[in-house]
Amino acid sequence: MTHNTEEQAQLLVEALPYIQKYYGKTIVIKYGGHAMTSEDIKASVIKDILLMRLVGMRPILVHGGGPDINRMMDMVGLVPEFVDGKRVTDSSTMEIVEMVLAGKTNKSIVGLLNSMGGNAVGLSGKDGNLISASQLSSRLGRVGRVDEINPRVLYDLLDNGYIPVISSIGMGDEGEAYNINADHIAGEVAAAVKAEKLIMMTDVDGIYRDIKDPSTFVSRLTAREAGDLIGAGLVSKGMIPKVEACIIALEAGVEGTHIINGTKPHSILMEVLTDSGIGTMIEKTEE
């Protein structure tokens, strides 16, 4: 047996208790950032999801697709407008957002999963009344907030061996579409299905007290401490909705939330199936 083979065997042995622990458990994964644009990392994510399902876990994938939306808007001659990091979404922009997220991006992910032996089903918030939404701000147009998640459709899919893949589109009372932050949807979905874990993928290793200083990396903190960091202005704008999603999930009883670097190959498996894990873990505040 070679040294490399021994290492591979040891990794499998190390993974066994985690496979047993999370067998039959639901794990929500927010997929986004560079991991959606790099073909190599995309393939790594897909393989991680498939392996999780194969060993008995119940993954749910939630995704955004900002770069795809920007490319389509550029093709039709529209200029994206942002206010406080949120995309201003008029009716014309909403048509593009829905077409890209629920059509191109979602079906691309579903196709990859199924072409590699998975059993994935693509959803937007309109399907099965999954995500009820309302307007966040008149200034932002069709940008929405999550009012309610209907978990029944997700339970039905999970119970029958499917992998739900959810695009970040919500539905209003009159059937209108809303563009919703995918991080917040992931947190609300994890809360609604009482997930065991919520994993947020991003382009950095996790939370830093000072993003310019690697020594300020935070590997573990409570929900209260995370909220305090936001209040003190120590969390970057792009990281804030991810931290908020973790807090939403924890308050609903989700056991563990993690912010990980999705640009690293097989980062999901490293978080779920190893002793050390990676990234920042946000856990419940002990009362």
Condensed to tens digits (0 to 9), the pLDDT of residues 108-152 reads 999 999 999 999 999 999 999 999 999 998 999 999 999 999 999
21 in active site: no
237 in active site: no
- pLDDT tens figures, 57-109: 999 999 998 888 989 989 998 888 888 778 889 999 999 999 999 999 999 99
Beta-carbon count within 10 A of 49 CB: 27
Q: pTM of the prediction?
A: 0.93
Beta-carbon count within 10 A of 267 CB: 23
> Six-digit token pair at 219?
């590997």
66 in active site: yes
CB-count exposure of residue 199 (10 Å: 0-12, 13-18, 19+): buried
33 in active site: yes
Q: Which of these is catalytic: 32, 64, 66, 141?
A: 66
Q: Which of these is catalytic: 125, 144, 242, 279?
A: 242
CATH says 22-283 is which class?
alpha beta
- Between vectors from CA 58 to CA 53 and to CA 61, what angle results, nearest 5°? 90
Q: Which of these is catalytic: 32, 33, 64, 125?
A: 33
Q: What is the Cα–Cα distance from 83 to 236, expressed in whole angstroms?
A: 16
Q: Which of these is catalytic: 48, 68, 127, 183?
A: 183
Cβ proximity of 188 and 149 under 8 Å: yes
107 in active site: no
Mean pLDDT of all residues belonging to the chain: 90
Q: Which amino acid is at 164?
A: P
Judged by DSSP in three states, 239 sits in: coil
